[in-house]
Structure 1
Amino acid sequence: MEIKGKLIIIGGAVDKGSFTENDIDVNASKNINFFETGILKRIINEARHKEKSRIEIITTASKIPKIIGPEYVKALSYLGANNVDVLYLDKREQASDANVLERIKAADVVMFTGGDQLRLTSILGGTAMHDLMLEKYHNEDFIYAGTSAGAAAASNSMIYQGSSSEALLKGEVKITSGLGLIDGVIIDTHFVQRGRIGRLFQAVVGNPKVLGIGLGEDTGLLITNGTEMEAIGSGLVILVDGREVKDTNLTQVELGQPISINHLVTHVMSKYDTFNLKTHKMQIKSSQYAEDLGIPTD
């Protein structure tokens, strides 16, 4: 079934600038490259009505929603998007409120901030709002954007806990159900800075059919039709493909013991590279073989 919506998942630490000071223009000039070509600008450009699109910022995952929400409003306003508001939800019953549902119905974009992804799934999972978002994502020109926790929660399977330093010890990575916008992947965030590749290795070796996606800081993926992924932002996306794993000791060792894995395939994506979830083929935009492959280089 064709998916009409778009999914934009971001690794966290989005370089949106900070507008808490009075010298907005000075701060903006320090982030001009981001404002022109960065992730928030891309979200606006992909949205149905561009700068006029209705955008709802959802801060449920955050412990400081009253601070982080207005920051996003200011950053998006600087980029020309002024039809933006913050939807504060911290109780499950709020997610079935008629006013909340009307706001989600009217939204062209919902953007979930960082924080704790388990808060997102425990508060919003299975609610009328969750069902409405899934319906819009499948049937309308609608964007689900999520950074950090908002990204991790987007898939069917979700990592919610696990030490980076001990991630390849059996049982250290905890997985539960996410919001279910995309199947066949599992997403980890703040990937490069916090050294989380071991967490993704363990998640994938336990279910090699699932593609592991590790999102670096200020880096994301634009996913269209549920299959075509394009790297956006300034950093790296690491993909972990377990379909060709030849051997592991996962089922033989006790909890807390190191895991061995033979032949785990990884890919590294940067800006404009693409990966197809159906074919599992990656295309490097600036490939050294671009001419032979017939890839446009402009």
Structure 2
Amino acid sequence: MDDTSKRQLVIIGGAEDKEGDCLILRDFVRRSGGIKSKIVIMTAATELPRDVGENYIRVFEGLGAEEARIIDTETRDDASSSTALQAIAQATGIFFTGGDQSRITSIIKDTEIDTAIHKRFSEGVVVAGTSAGAAVMPDKMIVEGDSQTNARIEVVEMGPGLGFLPGVVIDQHFSQRGRIGRLMAALIQEPAVLGFGIDENTAMVVTDHQVEIIGEGSVTIVDESDSTHNNMDEILKDEPLAIFGAKLHILPHGYKFDLKTRQPILDQNPVANISQPLATSNS
């Protein structure tokens, strides 16, 4: 049986700092072993794998990583490369870049590399992803959708993710692109009770069942476990959704959240009074 206490995810909302203090990427390198870390950069999401990958090599090696290398999978055949599989077997940190999340799943999901990464994740290797690389972390992901709109079924398209953090929905570039409507639409469509909207240059670090927020923005958490009503079964796809009694938590740097109790944590104690009820209606 896997020891879930070993599992660590660094899920980044995109546009993380790569030139200044590099707080989030620095944290990823530290968790991956610091000056002994061996990091593989998964560039499946981007159409510019060499440029994007080499930029991350520069950052990770500048932060002291012992080694950083690119795994470029342009096709599913590349996802069974013995060289790539060997690099993953030796890695202490695995990083998915941004781009198009559907490229990641279409090329990598259910391949030898996918199996190898999940095995290493269960053994304690840190898995991180930014933007599109963050979107693929759940078992069901947001493939695409409209920003800055009210919640309607049609504003979001869902698809299979890589399943590192099942049972949740994740959205990125959250505040910057006004994505609360599409997160709500995704959450209501999927059998998940928690939705996470991650701002740019912000990350949620998941260790076992605890989430810690780092970075300059916030993570918006929508909990619909106690929701009393939604009208999804009564409307057409272009009509607005109604949700009653969902909870909203907004957590900045340093705050934590317990995935089991679904409660924010302050000073290691769950805090109920920093949550706010969220009900949307169409008046």
| TM-score normalised by length of structure 1 | 0.86
Alpha-carbon spacing, 1:113–1:285, altered in 2? closer, same or farther (3 Å): farther
The aligned counterpart of 1:155 is 138
User: CA separation in 2, counterparts of 1:207 and 1:122?
Assistant: 20
User: CA separation in 1, counterparts of 2:72 and 2:150?
Assistant: 33
User: CA separation in 2, counterparts of 1:268 and 1:282?
Assistant: 9
* 3-state DSSP of counterpart to 2:77: helix
Q: Which runs of 5+ in 1 are unaligned?
A: 18-30, 290-298
User: CA separation in 1, counterparts of 2:236 and 2:101?
Assistant: 28
1:251 positional shift: 1.2
* Residue of 120, 123, 127 corresponding to 2:107: 123
Is the Cα contact below 8 Å between 1:12 and 1:218 reproduced in 2? yes
| TM-score normalised by length of structure 2 | 0.90
* Residue of 156, 162, 170 corresponding to 1:179: 162
Alpha-carbon spacing, 1:286–1:107, altered in 2? closer, same or farther (3 Å): closer
1:208 positional shift: 6.0
The aligned counterpart of 1:86 is 70
Is the Cα contact below 8 Å between 1:167 and 1:199 reproduced in 2? yes
User: CA separation in 1, counterparts of 2:234 and 2:268?
Assistant: 43
Q: Would you say 1:237 and 2:237 are equivalent positions?
A: no
The aligned counterpart of 1:191 is 174
User: CA separation in 1, counterparts of 2:192 and 2:84?
Assistant: 36
The aligned counterpart of 2:263 is 281
User: CA separation in 1, counterparts of 2:193 and 2:106?
Assistant: 23
1:190 positional shift: 0.5
Which structure's residues are more often strand, by fraction?
2
User: CA separation in 1, counterparts of 2:94 and 2:268?
Assistant: 32
The aligned counterpart of 2:61 is 77
> Quick one: which amino acid aligns to residue 41 of structure 1?
R
Number of residue equivalences: 268
User: CA separation in 2, counterparts of 1:242 and 1:205?
Assistant: 8
1:281 positional shift: 1.6
Instruction: Tell me the C-alpha RMSD between the 2 structures.
Output: 1.7
Is the Cα contact below 8 Å between 2:256 and 2:264 reproduced in 1? yes
Percent identical pairs in the alignment equals: 35
User: CA separation in 2, counterparts of 1:179 and 1:286?
Assistant: 30
User: CA separation in 1, counterparts of 2:115 and 2:146?
Assistant: 32
1:285 positional shift: 5.3
**Over residues 102-150 of structure 1, what are the superposed CA-to-partner deviations in whole Å (9 max), with x where a residue is unaligned?**
1110111110100000000010000011011111111x12011100011
The aligned counterpart of 2:26 is 41
Is the Cα contact below 8 Å between 1:208 and 1:245 reproduced in 2? no
